[in-house]
Amino acid sequence: MNTKKLGEFLDDKKGYVKKGSEQLMEILVDKGYDISKLTKDQVKEVLREKVKLSKAKKVKASPPKILTYDIETSFVLARVWGTGKQYVGHDAIQDETQIITVAYKWVGSNKVEYLKWSRKKKSDKKLMKAFLEEYNKADMVIGWNNNSFDNKIVNSRALKHGLEVNTHVKSFDIMRQVKKVFRLPSYSMAYVSKYLGLGGKLQHNGIKMWEDIAWGSKADYKQSMAMMVKYNVQDVALTEEIYFKVRKYLSGVMHAGVLMGKSKMTCPHCGGDHGKLYRTIVTEGGSIQRVMKCKKDGVKYKVSNAEYLKSL
């Protein structure tokens, strides 16, 4: 083994970077490497380089980019023979779901942004191109029922227009997470926000707004579109407010700390280092787990006992 090979070994097994040179040399011998050509000083130097590098990486890592968003979609027209219960097959459908407006807000920014479709072209292609520039930057997206609705519509419209989309984006669907932990009479966003004592959703004049947007006169279109944007923007602001209210009671979907190059002991929500032991639990299989609580935001998270002991 030479210094280059040792460097590669350490890149592969980052845990050994923290060892002293003597200890590391013993480990290498135990593992069957021939280190006769390596001096202790050389090993020290390689270790120093690697520590420097890993520190530089940590400083550079910025907080995760988290995007709250909400979309409003168009009608799908279908031909029918009359009223009453009936089966509507795909050949009766005349057009496809498109995104009329999308509102979004980066966590940490104060501004809710929005995009509108092109009514003239009856197309969301431009909207999608612009929105995906943002969406694809996100480490996590937040929404209300977005795992079942918004994310899938975004994916479908990207597919339609042949655009790049991150289908692996981490997604915190507040409705889905809330359902796992709380039993509420309703899981509509309007109800939950009322339950939490937050401002209600904006009122709008229902289906007429969508009709105006699809077929209304220029004046009606303008008025209804302005209302839809307002409604959409308000929803995003409210979604984020709800997220911050409920987050500490729920499990997360990603680890902010690890994403920033820190250890698993850091808070998965804020990446902070100030987790305190909250409870020790033991699984049915006898494994010890530690429940930590972040001092900053109250978020609780589980770590393995090995990880916990390592941090002491």
Name the residues that contact Zn ion, by CB under 5 A: 267, 269-270, 272, 294, 296-297, 299
Q: What is the CA radius of gyration of the chain?
A: 26
Q: How far is the CB of 273 from Zn ion (least distance, A)?
A: 9
Q: Which is nearer to Zn ion, 129 or 293 (CB)?
A: 293
- Specify the residue for token string 């009514």: 119
- What SS3 string covers 83-134? CCCCCCCHHHECCCCCEEEEEEEECCCCCCEEEECECCCCECHHHHHHHHHH
- Give the type of residue at 275: G
Q: How far is the CB of 295 from Zn ion (least distance, A)?
A: 8
Q: How far is the CB of 246 from Zn ion (least distance, A)?
A: 15
Note whether 273 and 262 are within 8 A (CB). Answer: yes
Sign of CA dihedral 14, 16, 17, 18: positive
Q: Which is nearer to Zn ion, 57 or 296 (CB)?
A: 296
Q: Who contacts 4 (Cβ-Cβ below 8 Å, separation ≥6)?
A: none
Q: Which is nearer to Zn ion, 261 or 272 (CB)?
A: 272
Residue 77: CB atoms within 10 Å:
11
Q: Which is nearer to Zn ion, 117 or 301 (CB)?
A: 301
The span from the CA of 191 to the CA of 231, in Å, is 16
Q: How far is the CB of 269 from Zn ion (least distance, A)?
A: 5
Q: How far is the CB of 34 from Zn ion (least distance, A)?
A: 46
Q: Which is nearer to Zn ion, 132 or 256 (CB)?
A: 256
Q: Which is nearer to Zn ion, 116 or 269 (CB)?
A: 269
* Strand 275-282 with 170-173, pairing: unpaired
